[in-house]
């Protein structure tokens, strides 16, 4: 377990110490659960009253929320971001593998960098390249000619197909599958004719892919996920999708083929983005949204029907089916009114 003084942590996040600068900090915690060896944070002024009851050794606060109720503090402009950086320093998550397991199967033509760890029963195929300081858990598969950069982490059961390209410092959670075939089929006299998926998946630096998320390879061109993107669990990224830098996608979201998502977008959980459309930069899409046409202006977008009581839902469902008739009646009344005028 790592130990840092309060001053060292403040220097790391560019903050100002109030109180005992040499206080040893071992871990991070919430205001409610923290003990004297932990540092907590206050990011929302509504919870300032919790400073009076916390047992945390120190708290990360903004200047306006600092309080004499706590003896030791790090004052910063963005407490939540400072907490994240400190949590990274004090992270106790183990590596998915230590050393290279005897049961791992590594092709002779594969290139393995320095300080790489590879777990039990993992297979690394012909011509694959693994960068320095990358850790690959058990039961993973790295396809032929796939390139993985340095400092990456693959948890158990990650599968990366052939010729994919992964940048540096990426994180893949268990069950994620990168480079499977996209859903490409041509109708032929009532039958389906498979279209070979010949593109790749290219994932740039500092990307995190959640558990059981799938990213399909391109049909001819590549599927591309740009640097800094974070994708939650159980998402589907279809073939030839392009996601620009620093976009965040929450769980169970589906991006259909060839859609393009801009920079710094935030897409809520269980959303669906139609194929072959573009979403511009700095768009926030609320959860359960269905995007079926291009979004060309930044802002917040929402759709979906919230849950309601069963009787109310049935009434509204019946009325929804009557909307077309109602529309026609209104148009007829408007026409009659215009004729009378």
**What interhelical angle do 79-89 and 6-13 show, nearest 10?**
120
Instruction: Give phi and psi for 131, each to the nearest 5.
Output: -75, 170
Cα distance between residue 341 and residue 335, in whole Å: 10
Long-range contacts of 179-182 (CB under 8 A, 24+ apart): 179/143, 179/146, 179/215, 179/216, 179/217, 180/214, 180/216, 180/217, 181/216, 181/217, 181/239, 182/216, 182/217, 182/218, 182/219, 182/223, 182/238, 182/239, 182/240, 182/257
Instruction: Give phi and psi for 321, each to the nearest 5.
Output: -70, -15
> Residue 81 in 3-state DSSP?
helix
Instruction: Give phi and psi for 82, each to the nearest 5.
Output: -65, -40
Catalytic amino acids?
A: 239
User: C-alpha distances in angstroms, 178 versus 39, 173, 185?
Assistant: 37, 11, 20
Reading phi first (left if > 0) and then psi (alpha if -120 to 50, else beta), residue 70 is in beta
Cα distance between residue 199 and residue 179, in whole Å: 9
Selection from 215, 122, 128 nearest residue 177 by Cα:
215
Cα distance between residue 201 and residue 126, in whole Å: 18
Say if residues 273 and 288 touch (Cβ distance below 8 Å): no
Say if residues 205 and 223 touch (Cβ distance below 8 Å): no
């Amino acid at each position: 377990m790592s130990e840092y003084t309060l001053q060292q942590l403040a220097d790391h996040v560019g903050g100002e110490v109030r109180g005992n600068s040499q206080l040893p900090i071992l871990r991070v915690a919430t205001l409610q659960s923290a003990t004297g060896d932990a540092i907590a944070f206050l990011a929302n002024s509504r919870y300032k009253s919790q400073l009076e009851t916390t047992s945390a050794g120190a708290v990360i606060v903004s200047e306006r929320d600092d309080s004499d109720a706590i003896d030791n503090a790090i004052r910063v402009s963005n407490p939540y971001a400072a907490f994240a950086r400190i949590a990274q320093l004090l992270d106790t998550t183990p590596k998915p593998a230590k050393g290279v397991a005897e049961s791992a199967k590594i092709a002779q033509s594969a290139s393995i960098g320095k300080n790489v760890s590879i777990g039990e029963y993992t297979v690394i195929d012909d011509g694959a390249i693994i960068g320095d300081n990358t850790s690959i858990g058990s039961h993973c598969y790295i396809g032929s000619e796939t390139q993985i950069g340095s400092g990456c982490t693959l948890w158990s059961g990650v599968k990366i197909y052939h010729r994919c390209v992964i940048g540096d410092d990426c994180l893949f959670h268990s069950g994620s599958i990168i480079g499977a075939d996209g859903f490409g089929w041509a109708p032929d006299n009532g039958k389906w004719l498979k279209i070979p998926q010949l593109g790749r998946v290219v994932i740039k630096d500092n990307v995190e892919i959640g558990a059981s998320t799938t990213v399909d390879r391109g049909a001819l061109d590549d599927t591309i996920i740009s640097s800094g993107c974070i994708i939650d669990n159980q998402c589907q990224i279809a073939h030839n999708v392009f996601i620009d830098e620093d976009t965040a996608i929450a769980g169970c979201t589906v991006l259909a083929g060839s859609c393009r998502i801009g920079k710094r977008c935030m897409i809520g959980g269980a959303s669906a983005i139609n194929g072959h459309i573009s979403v511009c930069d700095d768009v926030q899409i609320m959860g359960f949204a269905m995007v079926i046409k291009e979004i060309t202006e930044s802002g917040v977008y929402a759709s979906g029907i919230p849950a309601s009581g069963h009787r109310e839902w049935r009434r509204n469902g019946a009325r929804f089916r009557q909307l077309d008739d109602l529309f026609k009646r209104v148009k007829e009344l408007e026409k009659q009114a215009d004729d009378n005028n």
